[in-house]
Amino acid sequence: MSILLLGGSPQLPSSSSRLLAHIGEQLALQGHHYARLHVRDLPARALLLADYDDAAIARAVRAVADADAIVIATPIYKASYTGLLKAFLDLLPQDGLAGKLVLPLATGGGHAHTLALDYALRPVLHALGAKQVFTSIYANAQQLEWHEEHGLSLDAPIAARVQAGIEELSTGLFVLQGQRPPVPAPAHAAAADASVPGRSLQDQPYAPRFQAA
C-alpha cells in the first residue's frame, strides 16, 4: 500500500510542508511507504494550461492514481486552500480519488481559519470520489515551532490530533490490505525507534518531484 504526500504550498520550506514531512516520518515508522509531490515543483505553464502531454504533469497525475492514500497539506490563504493546490486538483479526473483514503492538513496564522479545510477542501475531496476523508488537522503558527537542530515541535493539542490522524490513516491502510492493524508500541519504544539512523526526515532536503521513502 502506498501513500502520496501532496504539498500545496508555493514556498519550501514552509509550515505546512514541515508538518507534512513530520507525518510522513511517523507513517514510515509504522511500516508504510510513501512518495512526496510538491505542486510548486511542477512546470507552471503546463499546470495552469492543464497540459496532460507534459511529462511532469503526467507523472504527477499518475502518482495520485497509483496511491492508496493521500495526505494533503496546504497553507490557508484568504480563508481557503491555495490556488496552486486547486490548479492541481483540477487536473484530476472526476473520480480521481476514488477508493482512496485522504488526510487533509492545513496551517495558518491564527484560529480564525480553523474550519477552512472543512468548508473549502473537504467538499472537493468528496466530489473527487475519496473513499474516506479523515478528520482535518489545522495548526496555527503558535502551535508549530521549527528548530534547525531538532526539527519540528508541535504543541500538545496539535501533537494529539496529528497522532490521532496518523493512527486513523494507518489503520485504514491495514484494513484495505485485509490485515489486522498492529498493536501500538509503548511510547519509550517509539522514541527509541525514531533514533534509528535513516529514519528521520528532519535533516534531509526537500526533494523535487517524487521521493520514495
- Give the integer Cα–Cα distance in Å for 166 and 157: 14
Per-residue pLDDT at 183 = 58
Answer for the pair 118, 142: CB distance below 8 angstroms, yes or no. no
pLDDT digits (tens, 9 = 90+) for 20-73: 999 999 999 988 999 999 999 999 999 999 999 999 999 999 999 999 999 999
Q: What is the mean pLDDT of residues 104-112?
A: 85
Q: Are strands 151-154 and 144-147 parallel, antiparallel or unpaired?
A: antiparallel
- CATH, domain range 2-194: 3.40.50.360
Q: Which helix (H) or strand (E) holds 25?
A: helix 15-29
Q: Are strands 69-75 and 144-147 parallel, antiparallel or unpaired?
A: unpaired
pLDDT digits (tens, 9 = 90+) for 174-189: 888 776 666 555 544 4
Instruction: Kindly tell me if the per-residue pLDDT of 191 is higher than 50.
Output: no
pTM of model > 0.85: no
The set of cell numbers assigned to 3 is 501513500
Alpha-carbon distances, residue 183 vs 8, 162, 163 (angstroms): 33, 18, 14
* Res. 201 pLDDT band, cuts 50 70 90: very low
